[in-house]
Structure 1
Amino acid sequence: MSTAIRTTEAGGIRPRAMSRSRGVIGAGVWRARFELLQYFRSLDTLVFTFLFPIVMLGLFSVAFGGQGDMQPAAGLPPVPVAQMYLPGMLAAGLLLSGFQNLAIDIAIERSEGILKRLGSTPLSPVSYFVGKIGQVGVTGVLQAALVLAFAGLVLRVPLPTEPQKWAVFAGVFVLGIVTSSLLGVAISAVPRTARSATAVVIPIVLVVQFLSGVYLFFYMLPEWLQTAAGVLPVKWMAQGMRYVFLPDSYAALEQNGEWNLAGVAIALAVWLVIGLILARVTFRWMRRTA
């Protein structure tokens, strides 16, 4: 990504004019457009964000699908390995698009002084948040569409046809992407330098994914670890996605033998509020030196 381009836009007149003429949300919408333009100019971020879930889904399907379909327990219908991994990969995509990318990007912007220049304009933190979440929302939709297309067309995963399941997918997606984004904004305050941002954020992302049933099937985790994972938002994202893409009878593999969609909605809504509070409290245009 070109720092010169970002610096000019960040400290220039246009954010000031937009924030005056269109208000907080209008400035945020403009900022989202700017963020998208910069995002699609960053080839390395673009390739990693869009290809990583697809590559991992294909890798797991090839590595563990040689013996045919899976039947996790007696009495459950066999399903392709790719179908078992698809919900976790979609949840991982929400985490990568929102939490990981924003946490690292904002830490770098703060370290390079871009946020300091933005802070000298009338652009409010709320408008900045709106811009970041807007960028993540658009790229997250594109990423999910590519993963679903790859799963359905290449890996032959049967996708749901019921409108109710796609409605649940949309709800989990929206709550998940906004929650991940706000938590990414909050955690971006932790790295002290641009160089340390990756070292701080990526280990957190990896641990959360393993605990939340992304790379390991959730039903295989010990009961105590499943309970501990219940405090993590990604666990609930993955659970909601499993309801959408796995047969209804697979609810038997969940804790208490049910999908618990109400619990999914409540947990993600609570984390969204927590993320909003943490993002607003911890966000600074400049890092405090004292």
Structure 2
Amino acid sequence: MSMTATPVPRAAGRPGRPPGALRLGLSRGWLEIREFGREWEQLLFTFSLPALLLVLLSAAFGGGAGGQAVAAYYTASLTATGLMSVSFQNLGVAIATERGDGTLRRLRGLPVPRASYFLGKVLLVLVLAAGQVALLLGIGSLVYGVQPPPAGKWFDLAWIMLLGTAACTLLGIAASSAARSARSAQGAVVLPFLVLQFASGVFIPVQQLPDWLLGAGSLFPLKWMAQGMRSVFLPEEAAALEAAGSWQLGTVALVLAAWCVVGSVLCMTTFRWKTAKDG
């Protein structure tokens, strides 16, 4: 008796499309956030350092009647530092490490859009930036009585935060390629960041800085991020203590936007998926 094979019915409908860069980037961003949260030492260091500096600097220079004003100054300036820390410093070191251990090389070989990797990093930075701002605002308000920004200043806080974080994120991605190895990434990223904090009026008020040092700091985004944040937290009369005697918010926006353009060009021209040893 002959046997006839029963035809297998085809699945109805069109085959599903592979997920796009946006969906993969969102998934990778969630993965990045969870992995960062599991590294409790890194999480503690990222959020505790700006908060600890706020406490120490306010205690050292905030004695007397002007204590609340000093705390407001450092809350604003260290908020800018915290944003640069979670973007420029965090990405510069993390991406260099992933390049060194072969993670980037393996990701490049997968059939997924490369943009999803960077989107995941951006989502991680945004979450860390929001947490950093919330923490410093909370400490400044609850411990030192720093007044929250008035209603008209929240928009300024939002665009300074987003534009500054975007510029520092792009520079962090670019800086990761400047390090020859994962070990050298700390020095290549952390040392310039530390110098910029002194040259940008974060630790020392701008009116006390030498002109040449403040001029050097003015070439980079941190000085303008800190100045913009001070415009949010400090009263209008405090603008007279800035180098130009005003907040210069238009200049703040232009400089940060320019650094976004510069950072984008640097990323596109210098980013490497492999180490120099891999060819």
**TM-score, normalised relative to structure 2:** 0.90
1:12 aligned residue: none
1:269 aligned residue: 257
What is the alpha-carbon distance in structure 2 between the residues aligned to residue 126 and residue 216 of structure 1? 39
Shift of the alpha carbon at 1:122? 2.6
Size of the aligned set, in residue pairs, is 262
One-letter amino acid of the structure 2 residue matched with residue 197 of structure 1:
A
Identity %: 43
1:83 aligned residue: 72
> Could you give the per-residue CA deviations for residues 90-148 of structure 1, whole angstroms, max 9, x where no partner exists?
01001110000110001110000111110111333322111101101011101110110
Does the alignment pair 1:250 with 2:235?
no
2:214 aligned residue: 226
Given that 2:163 and 2:256 are in contact with CA atoms closer than 8 Å, whether structure 1 keeps it comes out as yes
What is the alpha-carbon distance in structure 1 between the residues aligned to residue 57 and residue 217 of structure 2? 22
Q: Which runs of 4+ in 1 moved over 3 A?
A: none
> Could you give the per-residue CA deviations for residues 168-195 of structure 1, whole angstroms, max 9, x where no partner exists?
0000000111111111000001112222
2:267 aligned to 268, 276, 279, which one? 279
1:36 aligned to 28, 33, 37, which one? 33
**TM-score, normalised relative to structure 1:** 0.86
1:138 aligned residue: 127
Query: Pairwise CA RMSD of aligned residues?
Result: 1.5
What is the alpha-carbon distance in structure 2 between the residues aligned to residue 122 and residue 284 of structure 1? 18
2:115 aligned residue: 126
What pairs with 1:146-185 in structure 2 (closer than 5 Å)? 146-161=135-150, 163-185=151-173
What is the alpha-carbon distance in structure 1 between the residues aligned to residue 262 and residue 89 of structure 2? 17
Structure 1 window deviating more from structure 2 (190-199 vs 177-186): it is 190-199
> Could you give the per-residue CA deviations for residues 227-275 of structure 1, whole angstroms, max 9, x where no partner exists?
2222110011001001001110111112321111110111101101111
> Could you give the per-residue CA deviations for residues 13-59 of structure 1, whole angstroms, max 9, x where no partner exists?
xxxxxxx6332222222211111111101111100111111110001
What is the alpha-carbon distance in structure 2 between the residues aligned to residue 31 and residue 116 of structure 1? 16
2:98 aligned residue: 109
Larger Rg: 2
Shift of the alpha carbon at 1:153? 0.7
> Could you give the per-residue CA deviations for residues 204-225 of structure 1, whole angstroms, max 9, x where no partner exists?
1100111111111122112333
What stretches of structure 2 of length at least 5 have no aligned partner?
1-16
One-letter amino acid of the structure 2 residue matched with residue 207 of structure 1:
V
Secondary structure at the residue paired with 1:216?
coil
2:11 aligned residue: none
What stretches of structure 1 of length at least 5 have no aligned partner?
1-19, 71-78
Given that 2:71 and 2:144 are in contact with CA atoms closer than 8 Å, whether structure 1 keeps it comes out as yes
What is the alpha-carbon distance in structure 2 between the residues aligned to residue 123 and residue 192 of structure 1? 26
2:50 aligned to 33, 53, 56, which one? 53
What is the alpha-carbon distance in structure 2 between the residues aligned to residue 142 and residue 221 of structure 1? 30
Shift of the alpha carbon at 1:62? 1.1
